[in-house]
Structure 1
Amino acid sequence: MASKNANKLLVAAIDFGTTFSSWACSFRHDYEREPTKILVREWNSGVGISSKAPTTALIRPDGNTLDAFGYNAEDKYGRLAENDEHKGWYYFRRFKMSLFKDKSLTRKTIIDDEMGKKMAAIKVISLVIRYLKDDLCEQVKLKIAGTLLVEDIQWVLTVPAIWNDKARQFMREAAVEAGINDKQLLIALEPEAASLYCRHIPLELKESGGTSCIVPLSPGTRYIVVDAGGGTIDITIHEVLEDGNVKEIYKATGGAWGGQEVDEAFKQFLIKIFGNPVLQKFKAEAMEDYVGLFRDFEIKKRIVSPNGNEDVTFSIPASLLEIFKDNTGETLSESINQTQFAANVRVLKGNKLRLDQSIMRSFFDRPLRSVCDHLQSFHDDNEKYGISVTLLVGGFAESPMLSGAIREKCSSWKLIVPNDASLTVLKGAVLYGYDQSIIVYRVARYTYGVGLRSDFIDGVHPEENLVVNDEGERKCTNIFDTFLTEGTLVRYDQIVCERTGRFPLETKNDYMNIRIFASTVTDPKFTTNRCCFFLGNLEVTGLDTSIPRSQRKVDFTITYKGTDFHVHATDTRSGRKLNASIDLLD
């Protein structure tokens, strides 16, 4: 398995999150001595230092220049709005989830900023990645004497494991547009990265020779990784092998159940109290106060616990109260008394709002129910999965509400929340950059195949698939030719598809195209079945145009690299290597 990047002096990882983002890196000499010695960027939030910054981008009116990122972007846009100078600017917050929700993602996909202005998603994301890349390089310059060459850096970009193949390619292309060489870029799945980091830290209590010590999880242990981020919760099941490497037991699952759902519930609470027109006007006219209110909630929600009984107090911005009074003519107390919150929410002197714990806990209901129901399906069938440990990681993992709910629903599993749970994905991505082969086996998420024609068989093939070619031959179209079956255990760097001269090519000039499909069932017959969907194109160029089209044939192999398919193609007749790639985006 030639996956170790022995020639890279530095591995640099970018964790592009829904709510927060950051970067981390380590030099090879540090990694070889102490793998967990990893430099993580520190951001000034204005009230303290944070290891992550909000995924917020402020783009100048030219639509091409990122003016500020993170806390600086939030603060500057607030000042621009206060002076009514913001209208030409683009202000994007928490936009990553658009890639997960858009099932027809293309290179031309458009997203809206906070005020509804539109921009190409790939432009916004590439600008943010470029900023993080350049910021990392500037910080690294301060750590060493001499110049670190571009080719000395291995880049790693994290993506949720439950994202589809199109979204992963989209992020790769955004990173390339941001100036990262495609050959020096790895895509790491977020729960896998967290799992790798946890393989290097002590988690399990062992007794030996009358003494106790804490060591990494021992061989044979099966554990479920719950990567709870802002947008999604990714879940995967791993087993520690005898050599310390890792095998995936079940394909990655999960959903849009992250901490952002809690924020959305708080937003809906505000709408019920103040009204949507008031909240929208507040957002448009006092963005700095709007962001500040949600920053305060971000801090307060982390201390909400399943059994807590202390009320939580928020300072309500004067600008919001002024807009509310101008638009409704009511007092805030009058408005609350007309809602279901009358008995649990109070207005205090000094523009403060006090919520009891039952209201705060209710904001967690939807995401906790979703993730716990999903985990319980594994827990109830644990004879099949053999899980003994839950590793809860990610920013949302720091919530006592989430950890408490999982501990209650999956009581037979030992729940572990590592120190710095919000950084496990980022630090694990650095480790992944040094050695991808540690994840030895993965489980195929879908059944994959190529579309082809075969001889038509009466009584077997449907009539609607019958075509007659130029030679008068009766062919059946839309055959699903499977090369990888859903649920199959696949080794890293394994060839999953080999086709030898099987495709009479109908080509234009020196180009051929083979359509790749995926299916949610194990044995699809035709690419037109409801369970199937078009994935993308296997494209080959450099064909010998002196050979008649009907005689051109190509040998190709598809190799599974963990997060990507890689294709190699040769001319069947001559053995000459051809240019080949897989394109999943329009």
Structure 2
Amino acid sequence: MASENSTKILVAAIDFGTTFSSWACSFRHDYEKDPTKILVREWNSGVGISSKAPTTALIRPDGKTLDSIGYNAEDKYGRLAENDEHKDWYYFRRFKMSLFKDKSLTRNTIIDDEMGKKMAAIKVISLVIRYLKDDLCEQVKLKMAGALLPEDIQWVLSVPAIWNDKARQFMREAAVQAGISDKQLLIALEPEAASLYCRRIPLELKESGGTSSIVPLSPGTRYIVVDAGGGTIDITIHEVLEDGNVKEIHKATGGAWGGQEVDKAFKQFLIKIFGNPVVKQFKVEAMEDYVGLFRDFELKKRIVSPNLNEDVTFSIPVSLLEIFKENSGETLSEAINQTQFATNVRVLKGNKLRLDQSIMRGFFDRSLRSVCDHLQTFHEDNEKYGISVALLVGGFAESVMLREAIRENCSTWKVLVPDGASLAVLKGAVLYGYDQSAIVYRVARYTYGVRTRRDFIDGVHPEEYLVVNDEGERFCKHMFAPFLTEGTLVRYNQIVYKIGGNPSDSKNDYLNISIYASTVKDAKFITNECCFFLGNLKVTGLDTSIPRSQRKVDVTITHKGTDLHVHATDTRSGRKLNAYIDLLD
């Protein structure tokens, strides 16, 4: 894994989002002059230029070859479907959330494409990352005379902060499969990346000598970052330190409350009007029109505000109306009159549907309620957290509905939406690649520990956990020995665990230590409901030519940014051993 404060010629970041993805990069000489000078990829959407492309992948029938991503993938699949040539192709849309929802994530986790065809999740994700990586390298070649070697690039991949450790390792391994060296890869947490970007740009009004200027947030300011993406709302609380770096005040929180929840509400609206069988058939038989309808909704939902007084009109695809007519035998107006929308949805000439503004606002209800209920837990205890500013970033931050809901529910906070809020994570990931130590302190999300056994105490330890060795010594098994407690403030590059050990069997040339985590601070046993198995700390390469008792290993775990780094040495020889934590066994 890469070291802090990279000296690479180029830092390249990939934001693999739930709804949209893209890449950005900057050369070191530009960063040293102006850290905010960052090149962002531009994508042709067919109707204009966008800084992000839909997280959509079209894979050829061989199940191995990526044909296209983004807008090109959507358009091509639509053409294939129109000619009934799509059935053997794999078409994945908005599949990132499967990693968040799957608590038993493994390297073999399978996901379904839009038509239910199955493929290994790590293969799909690695294909998309490889495309973005290769595309970035091609674009960089056009901007420089000499050749840029692979080892000259520091790569950064952003992930939601509320993802668990397994999902982060999964993304790392997908990136490695995509051709990115593990030693040149950093994982950046999305709200942290956004925070790093926001500390570089003017946000605060300051008066001095009779003049006013807008400057970055001043030391001592505590602010909450609300990274509102398509899938998740990621929330973290930071404080600006005297040297301009930041300290985390509370562990990252959030949930699956992003812009997709609004899209889901719109889909449920369509189902209530047209019926679930019709919407399913529409998706299967007219995918191009299906995607087009939701593209239209994506644009329309951005203009919705609490003060919207105008109704919103949608063009309904002819294919949807034809399928509806075949299945129902009634007109669309007759169907609507039998629903709860009889008084606020009208059918117009020219295949148009006009929705009352209250219906449009209603699509936001679940998402906004979830976000605001969560934020109020911090706002109501502001004496503890001392938050004065809320920074809204991410694509969903562009929604006036979200901004105003937070302003109304968290009235003492100054709600700011930085320029280019939708790119704050991506640009911040580039900055993180240059200086990972800028987040000086982080708060431990869980209590981390190892499985161990200790002297058995009658009346204290459960009888079923009693084990007796050959020498007659009595031990209690399944005990949880924490080395990092939930809520602890951990400094960057801090050693959090040291242990000495040797293999359990005389034939073994490896050492295996089981790592567990707990959602509470005082768990006693790994069997407690609050505890869960995290993964194995593995050390390999021990010398089997010497007795087992002499095969001793010193293991150190260091907290570096978003990862726990393991270092192991042979106690006898001082030789460095291969050591790592595997969370995807």
| TM > 0.5 | yes
Structure-2 residue corresponding to 1:240? 240
Shift of residue 550 of structure 1?
5.1
| 2:512 paired with 1:496 | no
Contact 2:480 2:524 in 1 (8 A): yes
Structure-1 residue corresponding to 2:512? 513
Cα 1:112–1:84 shift into 2, 3 Å: same
Shift of residue 504 of structure 1?
6.3
Instruction: List alignment gaps of at least 5 residues for structure 1.
Output: none
Shift of residue 51 of structure 1?
0.3
Structure-2 residue corresponding to 1:443? 443
Supply the distance in 2 between the matched residues of 1:436 and 1:549 (Cα, whole angstroms): 40
After superposition, the C-alpha distances for 1:185-241 in whole angstroms (9 at most, x for unaligned) are 000000000000000000000000000000000000000000000000000000000
User: Hey, which bits of structure 1, 4+ residues long, moved more than 4 A?
Assistant: none
Structure-2 residue corresponding to 1:136? 136
| 2:368 paired with 1:365 | no
SS of equivalent residue, structure 1 residue 495: strand
| 2:546 paired with 1:529 | no
Structure-1 residue corresponding to 2:270? 270
Contact 2:506 2:547 in 1 (8 A): no
SS of equivalent residue, structure 1 residue 163: coil
Supply the distance in 1 between the matched residues of 2:99 and 2:39 (Cα, whole angstroms): 29
Structure-2 residue corresponding to 1:351? 351
After superposition, the C-alpha distances for 1:118-154 in whole angstroms (9 at most, x for unaligned) are 0000000000000000000000000000100000000
| 2:579 paired with 1:580 | yes
Structure-1 residue corresponding to 2:409? 409
Contact 1:504 1:551 in 2 (8 A): no
Pairs within 5 Å for 1:4-19 = 4-6=5-7, 8-19=8-19
SS of equivalent residue, structure 1 residue 499: strand
Pairs within 5 Å for 1:470-481 = 470-481=470-481
Supply the distance in 1 between the matched residues of 2:305 and 2:343 (Cα, whole angstroms): 20
After superposition, the C-alpha distances for 1:311-367 in whole angstroms (9 at most, x for unaligned) are 000000000000000011011001100000111100000000000110000000001
Structure-2 residue corresponding to 1:101? 101
Structure-2 residue corresponding to 1:194? 194
Shift of residue 544 of structure 1?
2.0
Identify which range, 250-259 or 459-468, moves more after superposition. 459-468
Contact 2:496 2:558 in 1 (8 A): yes
Pairs within 5 Å for 1:19-418 = 19-418=19-418
Contact 2:508 2:544 in 1 (8 A): yes
Cα 1:259–1:241 shift into 2, 3 Å: same
Q: Which amino acid aligns with 1:300?
A: K
Pairs within 5 Å for 1:530-549 = 530-549=529-548
Supply the distance in 1 between the matched residues of 2:121 and 2:470 (Cα, whole angstroms): 44
Cα 1:523–1:507 shift into 2, 3 Å: farther
Supply the distance in 1 between the matched residues of 2:96 and 2:422 (Cα, whole angstroms): 18
SS of equivalent residue, structure 1 residue 500: strand
Shift of residue 458 of structure 1?
1.9
Cα 1:526–1:506 shift into 2, 3 Å: farther
Q: Which amino acid aligns with 2:530?
A: C
SS of equivalent residue, structure 1 residue 26: strand
Shift of residue 479 of structure 1?
1.4
After superposition, the C-alpha distances for 1:446-475 in whole angstroms (9 at most, x for unaligned) are 000011122222222211111123443322
Supply the distance in 2 between the matched residues of 1:550 and 1:214 (Cα, whole angstroms): 65
Shift of residue 507 of structure 1?
6.4
Supply the distance in 2 between the matched residues of 1:443 and 1:570 (Cα, whole angstroms): 28
After superposition, the C-alpha distances for 1:3-49 in whole angstroms (9 at most, x for unaligned) are 1112x000000000000000000000100001100000000000000
Q: Which amino acid aligns with 1:524?
A: A
SS of equivalent residue, structure 1 residue 129: helix
Structure-2 residue corresponding to 1:559? 558
Contact 1:506 1:550 in 2 (8 A): no
Contact 2:507 2:544 in 1 (8 A): no
SS of equivalent residue, structure 1 residue 319: helix
Identify which range, 456-465 or 83-92, moves more after superposition. 456-465
Contact 1:194 1:427 in 2 (8 A): yes
Instruction: List alignment gaps of at least 5 residues for structure 2.
Output: none
Contact 2:82 2:286 in 1 (8 A): yes
Supply the distance in 2 between the matched residues of 1:4 and 1:299 (Cα, whole angstroms): 40
Aligned residues: 584
Contact 1:447 1:485 in 2 (8 A): yes
Supply the distance in 1 between the matched residues of 2:280 and 2:550 (Cα, whole angstroms): 64
Shift of residue 280 of structure 1?
0.6
Supply the distance in 2 between the matched residues of 1:407 and 1:420 (Cα, whole angstroms): 20
Identify which range, 105-114 or 539-548, moves more after superposition. 539-548
CA-based RMSD: 1.2
Q: Which amino acid aligns with 1:546?
A: S
Supply the distance in 1 between the matched residues of 2:73 and 2:576 (Cα, whole angstroms): 48
Q: Under a length normalisation based on structure 1, what TM-score does the superposition of the two structures give?
A: 0.98
Supply the distance in 2 between the matched residues of 1:547 and 1:514 (Cα, whole angstroms): 21
Supply the distance in 2 between the matched residues of 1:146 and 1:530 (Cα, whole angstroms): 58
Supply the distance in 2 between the matched residues of 1:434 and 1:508 (Cα, whole angstroms): 44
SS of equivalent residue, structure 2 residue 302: helix
SS of equivalent residue, structure 2 residue 266: helix
After superposition, the C-alpha distances for 1:527-574 in whole angstroms (9 at most, x for unaligned) are 111110000000011112133435543211100112111111122333
Q: Which amino acid aligns with 1:42?
A: E
Contact 1:540 1:569 in 2 (8 A): yes
Supply the distance in 2 between the matched residues of 1:452 and 1:547 (Cα, whole angstroms): 25
Structure-2 residue corresponding to 1:458? 458
Supply the distance in 2 between the matched residues of 1:402 and 1:324 (Cα, whole angstroms): 34
Q: Which amino acid aligns with 1:482?
A: P
SS of equivalent residue, structure 1 residue 5: coil
Supply the distance in 2 between the matched residues of 1:136 and 1:435 (Cα, whole angstroms): 21
Q: Which amino acid aligns with 2:528?
A: N
Structure-2 residue corresponding to 1:3? 4
